[in-house]
Amino acid sequence: MGRHGTIAGRKAAQDSKRAAVFTKYARLITVAAKAGGDPDYNPSLRQAIDKAKGIGMPNDNIARAIKKGTGELGGESYETVTFEGYGAGGVAVIVETLTDNRNRTTASVKHAFDKYNGNFGVPGCVSYMFSRKGVFVFDKEEGVTEDQLMEVALEAGADDIIEYEDSFEVVCEPDAFTAVSDALKEAGINPMEADVEMVPSVESTPTDASAIKSLKKMIEILEDDDDVQKVYTNCTLDLYEE
């Protein structure tokens, strides 16, 4: 279980697609705001806003997305659709989307799988190899220490702290996410990323160079799609590495 890819690689990938990420987070905020436009009483909205602010999304964009969700501004109606399958090299892949056109999104995701030697599957074909977990990622260069995280996060209900070469990762159950997030914020410890994610319990390490190249390209194409919110794999390799 764990995160694959360096902090530098993740930052570079995020920076190169900042405009697209703004679009994705705006949709996420709009959908969350349908349950209420006040983040103090809507944890999903608060989480979406925190994520958007974390990548520098302007406040005007956030406010507009909230108004679309509450009906103050006209806007599209989005639904959550999840796709599963195998990428090249037998790597399990889960694609989470928010779409206003299920047929368009299905065709687009299937095309990416087919074009890059993947196998587009049925619901449940790979999700049994993943568990939904709250995940907080901290860049070591920001000065956070493992002792600080243990003192704050574990006390707030986190299950584990994993150390990588360039980062720490705090893992918790989804229902503990808000409590851990609030405790970290109160302690002034800010994660680089924080979300409830699909974390693999069974991992895969492809060895064929052409399969790895195809897998990276497929992930890149999927992440460039405005309808796609998240792409999860059980690959142990850094898929953002050049």
pLDDT of 199 reads 95
CA atoms within 13 A on the CB side of 119: 10
> Which tokens in the block code for residue 176?
């503990």
- pTM (2 decimals)? 0.85
Q: Angle at which helices 209-224 and 102-115 pack, to 10 degrees?
A: 160
pLDDT at position 192: 87
Fold agreement (79-127+202-233, 129-200): yes
* 10: confidence class by pLDDT, cuts 50, 70, 90: low
Separation in Å, CA 84 to CA 8, 25, 111: 28, 22, 13
pLDDT tens column, 192-201: 888 899 999 9
Residues recorded for the chain: 242
DSSP classification of residue 5: S
Is residue 178 scored above 80 in pLDDT? yes
pLDDT exceeds cutoff 80 at 20: no
Determine the residue type at 24: K
- CATH superfamily, domain 79-127+202-233, is YebC, transcriptional regulation domain (3.30.70.980)
Quick one: average pLDDT of 87-97? 97
Is pLDDT of 234 > 80? yes
Rounded mean pLDDT, 93-100 = 96
Of 67, 29, 81, 75, nearest to 51 by C-alpha is 29
Spell out the domain ranges in the chain. Answer: 7-70, 79-127+202-233, 129-200
| The pLDDT of residue 21 | 83
In 3D space, the residue among 104, 56, 96 whose CA is nearest the CA of residue 223 turns out to be 96
| Calpha distance 235→213 (Å, rounded) | 13
Give strand pairing partners of 206: none
Report pLDDT for 2: 42
- If one compares 39 and 54, the residue with the highest pLDDT of the two is 39
> What's domain 7-70's superfamily in CATH?
Integrase, N-terminal zinc-binding domain (1.10.10.200)
Range with the largest mean pLDDT of 21-25, 69-73, 160-164: 160-164
pLDDT, tens digit, for every residue of 125-166? 999 999 999 999 999 988 899 999 999 999 999 999 999 888
Taking every pair of Cα atoms in the chain, the longest distance, rounded to a whole number of angstroms, is 52
- For the beta sheet containing 167-172, the strands, ordered from the edge strand earlier in sequence to the opposite edge, are 160-163, 167-172, 130-139, 193-200
Which residues face 83 on adjacent strands? 95
Task: Write down the residue that tokens 């720490």 correspond to.
Answer: 168
CATH of the domain spanning 129-200, picked from 3.30.70.20, 3.40.50.410, 3.90.1580.10, 3.30.70.980: 3.30.70.980
Q: Which of 34, 22, 99 is nearest to 72 (CA)?
A: 34
d(CA 146, CA 140): 9
Token pair in block for residue 187: 């302690």
Q: Assign 1 a pLDDT band (cuts: 50, 70, 90).
A: very low
| DSSP at 34 | T
Lowest mean pLDDT among 47-61, 104-118, 131-145: 47-61
